[in-house]
């Protein structure tokens, strides 16, 4: 299956859940129509967009967590990539938008309702480096749509120099 955008989410009042939208305008500082209530930990140029892979969501659902699309604050839900596809530095091309992964998005108590026994650490990169949400900076701003294809531009590049 070719990777694609499964869902787009915003919350104009901030917090979670984020609500589905068909299109999303992405700027260098975030997504139009979305708001973060805690600017110390969310938003800004290095955390402009929050991403979640559907493979991560599916695994959490299979473990019995009451999680759903948008419930953990992601702006873009991507289908067709494995959980280990993302690491810091990966560049994603959405055609009209290009994002670069800046790091994992640590979970917090705000998303506890999406987890059994409020166990939001199930989405922690400290527990499993690939079972997390990711923050991204915007290399090229523009508009994305549900169903749009996604490609990784630099997956075969090695980090560092020999």
Return the CATH number at 22. 2.40.33.20
Find the domain containing 78 and state its range: 4-152
For residue 9 the two structure tokens come to 């989410």
- Please list the ranges in the chain whose pLDDT falls under 70: 37-43, 155-162
Residue 160 lies in a domain: no
The percent of residues above 70 in pLDDT, for the chain, comes to 91
Domains identified in the chain, total number: 1
pTM exceeds 0.85 = yes
Pairing, β 49-53 against β 76-79: parallel
Q: Provide the pLDDT for residue 74.
A: 96
Half-sphere exposure of 46 (CA within 13 A, CB side): 9
CA atoms within 13 A on the CB side of 116: 7
Which pLDDT value is given to residue 143?
98
Q: Which residues contact 153 (CB under 8 A, 6 or more apart)?
A: 91, 92, 93, 98
């Amino acid at each position: 299956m070719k990777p694609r955008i499964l869902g787009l989410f915003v919350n104009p009042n901030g917090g979670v859940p984020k609500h589905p939208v068909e299109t999303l305008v992405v700027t260098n500082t975030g997504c139009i129509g979305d708001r973060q209530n805690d600017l110390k930990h969310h938003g800004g140029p290095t955390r402009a967009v929050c991403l979640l892979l559907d493979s991560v969501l599916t695994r959490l659902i299979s473990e019995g967590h009451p999680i759903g699309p948008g419930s953990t604050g992601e702006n873009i839900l991507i289908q067709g990539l494995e959980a280990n596809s993302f690491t810091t530095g990966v560049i994603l091309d959405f055609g009209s938008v290009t994002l670069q992964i800046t790091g994992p998005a640590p979970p917090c108590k705000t998303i506890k309702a999406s987890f059994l026994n409020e166990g939001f650490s199930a989405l922690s990169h400290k527990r499993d480096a690939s079972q997390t949400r990711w923050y991204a900076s915007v290399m090229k701003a523009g508009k994305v749509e549900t169903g749009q294809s996604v490609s990784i531009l630099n997956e075969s590049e090695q980090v560092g120099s020999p």
